[in-house]
Amino acid sequence: MNIDEALRNCESGLSALSAQDNIDYNGLKEDTESAFRSLLSAMFPKHANPARMSMTESLRYGAEKLEGVITRVLHGEGNAEEHVIRLVGKLPEIRRVLWTDIIAAYQGDPAAKTPDEIVLAYPAFTAISAYRVAHELYIMNVPLIPRIITEYAHRLTGIDIHPGATIGEYFFIDHGTGVVIGETSTIGNRVKIYQNVTIGAKSFDVAPDGSLVKGIKRHPDIGNDVVIYAGATILGGQTVIGDHCVIGGNVWLTHSVQSGRVVLSER
């Protein structure tokens, strides 16, 4: 067999296997990421706008890109324009909440010299801004696009926030690398998390056919004014961490903690 025959055989095999891929997703990730960056530049035109576009241009470009990718993933079964209109209407509120996150970081980290430093240099800002935009699309039941946006930030920062999580205002992730926040987590206001924290699932329910049961509560609830130090792992859909708790570093928790407690070990 020569190289030409090997290539033909390979192509034949790959063609047969790829026939099951009915939809062409090429460019979807890139266009989604471009849409997010453009909307972010509209919200923070003096920090995240390297092309120096006007706010009108950023909004228009981001909206058009987003409508295009949503149209593709809806496969003709919904109105992409309606979703974009709803998201654009939410951007001022998203910007307001993001400013609370910036202030939480500035006030919570003595190394931060200015709020501008948070926007320009802190991975938490990238991850949280992507989450807050993606979350709005998630609650609209837009498929796939919210995950692409948060995984874009995950790739850049090492912070993995599922767009389905519910997170309050003044949220700060210090350092950030290795943080995981699961889909059904809820996090209150003024919560501070350090690196390598996992807010995850304890176990997965299995259906009679052996498949995982989806759409159920799997991740913890974190109250207001909670601090979770580096390396802590908090698991389970029935686990509730009360207000004003402090969870120490490397703690493994699968049970609830009453408000105001300081937890330094798993017991």
**Where are the CATH 1.10.3130.10 domain residues in the chain?**
26-160
pLDDT exceeds 70 at position 203: yes
How high is the pLDDT of residue 21? 80
Residue percentage of the chain with pLDDT more than 70: 98
- Of the two residues 229 and 207, the one the predictor is more confident about is 229
Exposed/middle/buried for residue 34 (C-beta within 10 Å: 0-12, 13-18, 19+): middle
Exposed/middle/buried for residue 51 (C-beta within 10 Å: 0-12, 13-18, 19+): exposed
Q: 212-231 b/e with 16+ CB inside 10 Å = b? A: eeeeeebbbbbbbbbbbbbb
How high is the pLDDT of residue 23? 82
**Where are the CATH 2.160.10.10 domain residues in the chain?**
178-267
CATH architecture designation of domain 26-160: Orthogonal Bundle (1.10)
Average confidence score pLDDT of the chain: 94
Say if residues 250 and 232 touch (Cβ distance below 8 Å).
yes
pLDDT tens track for 62-96: 999 999 999 999 987 889 999 999 999 999 999 99
Contacts of 23 (CB under 8 A, 6+ apart): 72, 75
- Show the 3-state SS of 77-136: CCCHHHHHHHHHHHHHHHHHHHHHHHHHHHHHCCCCCCHHHHHHHCHHHHHHHHHHHHHH
H helix count then E strand count, the chain = 7, 14
Tokens standing for residue 209: 């056919």
Q: What is the pTM of this model?
A: 0.92
pLDDT tens track for 43-61: 999 999 999 999 999 999 9
pLDDT tens track for 1-47: 899 999 999 999 888 888 778 788 999 999 999 999 999 999 999 99
CATH architecture designation of domain 178-267: 3 Solenoid (2.160)
Say if residues 87 and 133 touch (Cβ distance below 8 Å).
yes
